[in-house]
Amino acid sequence: MDLVWQGLVRAFEMLLAGDPELGRITWLTLRVSGTATLVSVVLGVPTGVLLALGRFPGRRLLISLVNTGMGLPPVVVGLWVSLLLWRYGPLGFLNLMYTPAAMVIAQSVIATPVVAAFTVAGVGQLNPRLALQITAMGASRWQLYWLLVREARLSILAAVIAGFGSVVSEVGASMMVGGNVLGQTRVLTTATVMEVSKGNFDVALALSVILLALTYGVTAVLTLVQQRRRPA
């Protein structure tokens, strides 16, 4: 247990000392996972809305696929994205392997199904009569979708929180496509794994405390937005 205490003390020391490397790692973690979350919202929310409200053949199959995608193992994503991005892979000409951009791609692949599936569930839960009423008032199809998204905003913010949570805590894909390169692609999770294998448990614990604080901070902001929008 004294290790835990040492780790906490170490975390405060590192924070107080303003270790530039730690700052860089934390900032990169926020940047990569934040961008990946944004990408997954841009892709996942419309997909989820269309799947929830659209009427087309294969819709249920697609929903089941998206639901399966919620459990997409990060290492599997990491491996596939690596195969695509390698120099001699199909997208090798982009020179993205071992860059933060590669990590954003992998994390977006992980988070998009999460966001889409939560959106499907959230929008699907709305009272079906609401859609009828909005349509009856003369709304166009896109206006209808927009109004329904606004109605489902609580669930959609939950989708964003879940998406961010799944990528900020992920290590396998980030390690594989990012490579844990010092000063370039090292994020809090991959740094933690590396410090453990170096036997620096106190530093690893400190990093984990900082990761938790970061995750809490972002989630708290999103929760605040979510709960303030709550209808009385």
Partner 1 sequence: MEGRRVRAAVLVAFLAGVLAATACGRRPATTEAGAGQERGETTAQEAPKPATPDVILATTTSTQDSGLLDVLVPMFEQKTGYRVKTIAVGTGQALAMAERGEADVVLVHAPDAEKAVVEKGAVVDRRLVMHNDFVLVGPPDDPARVRGTGTAVEAFKRIAAAGALFVSRGDDSGTHKKEQSLWKAAGITPQGTWYQESGSGMGQTLNIASEKGGYTLTDRATYLALRKNLRLAIVLEGDAPLLNVYHVMRVNPQKFSKVNAEGGKAFVEFLVAPETQALIGKFGVDKFGQPLFFPDAGKREDELGAKS
- The residue among 157, 178, 177 whose CA lies nearest residue 224 is 157
Q: Which of 86, 144, 214, 219 binds partner 1 (CB under 8 A)?
A: 86
Residue pair 53/145 in contact (Cβ under 8 Å)? The answer is yes
At closest approach, how far in Å is the CB of 45 from partner 1? 12
Report the nearest approach of partner 1 to the CB of residue 99 (Å): 5
Q: According to the binding rule CB under 8 A, does residue 182 interact with partner 1?
A: yes
The yes or no reply on residue 201 touching partner 1 (CB under 8 A) is yes
Do 226 and 158 contact (CB within 8 A), yes or no?
Answer: yes
Nearest in space to 189 (alpha carbons), one of 62, 28, 3? 28
Number of residues that bind partner 1 (CB under 8 A): 39
Q: Which stretch binds partner 1 (CB under 8 A): 6-14, 30-38, 105-113, 130-138?
A: 30-38
Task: Determine, following the binding rule CB under 8 A, whether residue 4 of this chain makes contact with partner 1.
Answer: no
C-beta of 47 vs 82, nearer to partner 1: 82
Query: Is 30 an interacting residue with respect to partner 1 (CB under 8 A)?
Result: yes
For the chain, state the CA radius of gyration: 20
CB-based burial of residue 68 (10 Å sphere; 0-12 exposed, 13-18 middle, 19+ buried)? exposed
> Residue 86 Cβ, how far from partner 1 at the closest point, in Å?
5
Contact 29, 211 (CB under 8 A): yes
By CB under 8 A, tell whether 112 contacts partner 1: no
Nearest-approach distance from CB 61 to partner 1, in angstroms? 32
What ranges in the chain are assigned the alpha helix state H? 2-17, 20-53, 59-69, 74-85, 100-124, 128-136, 141-151, 153-168, 172-178, 188-197, 201-228
Residues 124-163 within binding reach of partner 1 (CB under 8 A): none
Q: Which is nearer to partner 1, 35 or 119 (CB)?
A: 35
Cα→Cα distances 204→166, 167, 186, 211, 215, Å: 20, 19, 13, 10, 16
27 forms part of the interface with partner 1 (CB under 8 A): yes
CB of 228 to partner 1, least distance (A): 5
Largest CA distance in the chain: 66
88 contacts partner 1 (rule: CB under 8 A) = yes
Interface residue with partner 1 among 26, 47, 180, 215 (CB under 8 A) is 180
Q: Give contact residues for partner 1 (rule: CB under 8 A).
A: 27, 30-32, 34-35, 37-38, 86-88, 92, 95-101, 104, 179-185, 194, 196-199, 201, 221-222, 224-225, 228-229
